[in-house]
Each structure stands twice: as structure tokens, then as C-alpha cells.
Chain A
Amino acid sequence: MRTLFDKVWAAHVVVAETPDTPAVLYIDLHLIHEVTSPQAFSVLKGLGLPVRRPDRTLATMDHSTPTSSDQVFGGVPIKVDAAAKQVRQLEQNAAEFGVELFGMRDARRGIVHVISPELGCTQPGMTIVCGDSHTSTHGAFGALAFGIGTTEVGHVFATQSLLQRKPKTFAVNVEGRLRAGVSAKDLILAVIGKIGVSGGTGYVLEYRGSAIRALSMDERMTVCNMSIEAGARAGMIAPDETTFAYLKGRPRAPQGKDWDLAVARWRTLVSDPGATFDASVDIDASALEPMITYGTNPGMVVAIGANIPTKTGDAVFDKALHYMGFHGGEAMLGKRVDVVFIGSCTNGRLEDLQAAAQILKGRKVAPSVHLLIVPGSQEIKRAAEAAGYADIFKAAGADWRESGCSMCLGMNGDTVPAGQYAISTSNRNFEGRQGVGARTLLVSPFTAAASAVQGRITDPRGML
């Protein structure tokens, strides 16, 4: 009786783990980007080594790339000098080591965790790594996917393998159905609120239950994406018909007879009935409300209609509220909003933009608010334009950009000014994450769009 994780792990063990030595684990797909790869390429150069499997390696640029069209396509130089250098460095490294790169002007470029599924590179049962903690996103397909450091990026370059200790397993059982206006983002924020920001440390999470089965792939990716925000390096969802329907016909998915063989194999990737987990938690999806963070980590989260909790004698809690300019006991609804960011590898996919468009259609962004909407990939940008969402955004007064990480992290020119309140569909509300002194509140695309219209924190359910 094995869990989904056990099956994927076992299929990739090259050398078994012993008390004295970790397992050698084979890596099927290595995704790289400009920020965490340069020092790893330098190690290869120093040792005179090639990339062992360029055919299992895929590069893109997303973190430090600008999102304004004139800098991406218009020939205007990238404003941030060091970022321009990083982009050039990746271009050189990819060419030198024979790694496929979706560069700045490539129609397939986008956030690394958005494009790999979109192309069908991400497949059930794979081991997938990237020098990026949100690699957990790909677990939505039943892959074992986790973030690694730059030294490990070098290990995978050189050997297509990693030294790993087997993690423990954690079942996150979510039954019931999400109510209208309550999204996958609210679900995962509720999970993090319940188990805490270190509750998943040392574990691989498996999201299970009827509420998870009912989610689309875009929604499953939102859930798995934030596993790391609970401390878990990976989160997985067993593949099913929804997964197969998503992958079928994608450019890098198996085709023809290979497709049938692959699906037959993928169907075995479920936790056996009676398989045991090292830990578990139960969540009732039908009781969930739209969620919003009030502090400086994703575990500091409440239902949108609730008040900020009060705690006495907790210096860390006080420091977080002080940074946010909030007080214990205050209501979240109605608080001022300065910037709204809709995008990122958490909520920058087409269904997220569709949710935003549903709210913004025929409405205007409050004059005091800057609404930035950034698609997760160029493919999603084109799809959103074809579906008419982009026109709705522009008519509402939103700023519609080229794809990239953008305001999710302040390193590409898109930042939240110090002291301002940013309602964001991204994944981290850490101090300074979106810019020095920026105050981030994490929400769903519905809540972000509704709050942009009102200029205040707003429950989206009144606007659907």
C-alpha cells in the first residue's frame, strides 16, 4: 500500500538511501531561469563539464525581465542594468551549453511554472526541479516537483540527479464544495492558516478529497503552488481525467500511441486505498470564505469579513502589525487599497484573468488605485486578448502588461511604493517582498478585482 508520492519516488531512485548516505534521485525535467542559474553554470565551466541532459533542461527568463512592451519588444533597453546583464548571461549560457531557451521575445516565454504545464512539459509521475521554491506548482499534475538551491542546480546540470533524503507524507483532505466567489486561492490560504507556515516542513503534501477532484488544472496549480508557504517543499494531486484532458494535444505532451501508453501508466499514480500518511489534516471546503492576509507571512490570514486577531505579549505579532500599519481587532473590510496586482505563478493563468474580467466588466478601477494585470505567459496574454478580457481590463483603467514575475517580487522595476497597501494575488506578503516598505495583502483574483473597483478591501461575492 503506497502513496502517490511513494510511487513517484520509488520510480526515480538510482541509488537507494542508507543511514549514512542519501538516495540518488533521478530528475526528469530541470527548469531554469536567469536568477538562480548563473553561478551553477560557472561551476560547470570551472570543472569543464557539460550539461548532462540538455534534452531534459528548459530555460526561460521571468524574474528580472521587465513587463513593459517597449522594453520587451520596442527596443528600449532594460532599465535595470544588472537585470539586463543577467538576461544576457542566460542567453550566453544556454547557447554555450546547448540548453533550449525561451528568450525575451519568444512567443512561448513566461513564468517558468506557467509555461512548463502550458507546453505539456510537466507530466504526471515526473520528478521536476527548478532553482525556485514555487516549483511545487507542478505537483498539480501528480509530479514530484520541488525547489532547489543553486548548488543543486549545478548537481542536476552535471548528473541529472540529486542527493535526497526521503521526506515524510502529509494528507490534506478537503471535502465538500467551494461556494461561489470562494476560489482555490482561498482554499490554500485556509490550509496554510490551519497548519501554519512551518506545518509542512519535512513533508510532501498530498491534496485529496472531493473538493480537490472538482478543481480545474489552473486551480490545482494555485493550490500546489503555495505548498511551500506551509513549509512543504512539494505538494501533489493525483492525476485524473481533468489532468489528462488538460494535457492532451499540448505541444510537448506524448502524442498518438505514446499518449495511450502514457495515460495507462499515469492512471496508476494514485495513493492506494489504505495507504498511510505520516500526518493529516481535514478541511471542509463548503465552510470556507474568501480569505485575506493581514500580516507579514501567509499564515497570518483571516476570512475577509473577520477582524484582525488580538494577541498580548507576542512581539513578533506586534512587529508584523506595526509594519502593516494595522491594529488587533480592526475589521479587514473597508481598509484602504493603493495598488492591486493580479498575476504571478499563483494566479496569473487564464482562469484567474477570467475571474478578474468577470468582476471588472463594465466597471472602473477606483481613481486612487493602480491596477496592474500581468499574464503568467505570452500564451496567456494572447488568449486573454482573444477572449476579450484584455479589452475589459483596459476599459476599466487597468495597466495590462507583457508576462513575467512582475510585482510578485521587487526586482524587475515593477514595485509597490513604500508604505502603500498592495492587494496581491501573488504568494508572499513578506516585508519588502513587493518593494521596500510595501505592505502586501494576499487574496484571490475575485477579491483583488473587487477591491480595485471599490478602492477598499471588498468581499467579491457582492459583485459577481
Chain B
Amino acid sequence: MIEAKQLSKTFGDREVVKHVSFNVPQGQIFAFLGPNGAGKTTTIKMLTTLLDPTGGSVMLNGFDPRENPDEVRKSFGIVFQDPSLDSDLTAYENMEIHAVLYGLKKELYRPRIEELMKLVELYDRRGDLVKDFSGGMKRRLEIARGLLHHPKVLFLDEPTLGLDPQTRNLLWTYIKDLNKKEGITVFLTTHYMNEAEQMAQRIAIIDHGTIVAEGSFEELKKQTDTNSLEEAFLKLTGHSVREEGGEGQMRDMAKMWGGGKR
């Protein structure tokens, strides 16, 4: 369902993704783990038509993002690492714009929006402006939105960052359920190792733009001779603390400008 071959990306003279290859079959939950700045978000952007690779190739749902961007775009839903809602609109309006952008008909999307918003427990707040929502509510809304057009693949880039355990639990339970019932393929990144342990059938660990290990949770433990994914992760990627990536800087900028205006 998702296939990357020798995928590479260079910004200026910095190669941040280096010859990365993996293959995620349909219906699998795949965790893509790595320290900050490892190249996870950049990889996701190349898989989702937001960035052109500088080397290698990608196929998603049988389509090449460079040749058939719109087919690829119809195939996936995404929850970005950074916020991507319009906070001056209501929750419902954000959902509705998404539905229209994906070409859904009103008769179809109305009940679907209601169903999804009830599921993430936001239907009662549908008429409220998103700027009055908490971080967790925004996240839940983004997830509901990402699922609105029945995507075959769901990308989740650190979806649970900053959420309380209750909300995290709700989200993962739902996503696991969706994966079982509808066979949706899930590509996720997270810094919470227990989430990856519980959710993912396969895990790849990326560091400095290179995949350093890949396999099931059990296989990774065996390979590294450790007892938990956390230990395996640290053994593979070392203990030194990393700089935050470009996305983090963007977030700070947004905060700086956002204080007064929104």
C-alpha cells in the first residue's frame, strides 16, 4: 500500500532522508520511530505529495505522487504534526470544507460528519470556534477530519503529542478498531514507545535520515537484546539529545505571531 524505494531528500547541502526503503502492506499498522530531526516528517511529506523527493521513488495505493498527485491525495488522510485547522471557523465548518475539497456530496457528508464528530465527542461543540478548543479537542477534530473521506491510508504524525492519557487511549482504541473493521492502513510516528508497542505490527527506527532497524516489536527486542521498545530504541539511536526539527521552529514562530491576532 505504501512503498518507498531508496527515498532521499536534500535541503541545500543537507541530506535529511538517505536512501530509505520500506513497504507497508494493506491493513498494516506501521510505526515510524526516531528522535527529533531524524527525518520522519520529511518522509511523510514526500509520501503525501507535499514535498518532491530528491532521489528514489514512492508509490501509494499504486500511484506515484509525482505522476498522479490527485489519486494519491484521495487515497490518504493525514493528521499533521503541527496544527492545521482554521481556528477562526467552527469545528463543523472545518469538517465541511474538508468534505467539499474531497468532492463529497452534501447528503453523504452530513451524516458522516455527525458520526465522526460524535465519535471524537465533539458533536455538541460543532458550532464553536476552533480557537476556543483545547489542544486535545483540536487533535480529535483533526483526526475526525482526516477520516472524513474514507481514506485507505491514514498518516498520523505524532498525533498524541501533548494529550492526556484518556484522550490518547480513546484515539488509539478507535484507530485500532478502524484498522480491524475497515482494513485501513496506518502509518504513525510517536515518541511514546508504549503506543508503538501496543499499536504497531511493524516498526521501523530511523536516525539521521537512515533506517537503523526494522521488524516487529519482538524482533526488535531480540535484535538489540533488550526487554522493551524504549531500551531497544535508546540502544539503536544513542542517548544524546537532538535539536528540534524545522517544524518546531515553525510552531514557535506561529506562537510569536499568534499572541495578539488570534
Task: Please determine whether chains A and B interact with each other in the same assembly.
Answer: no
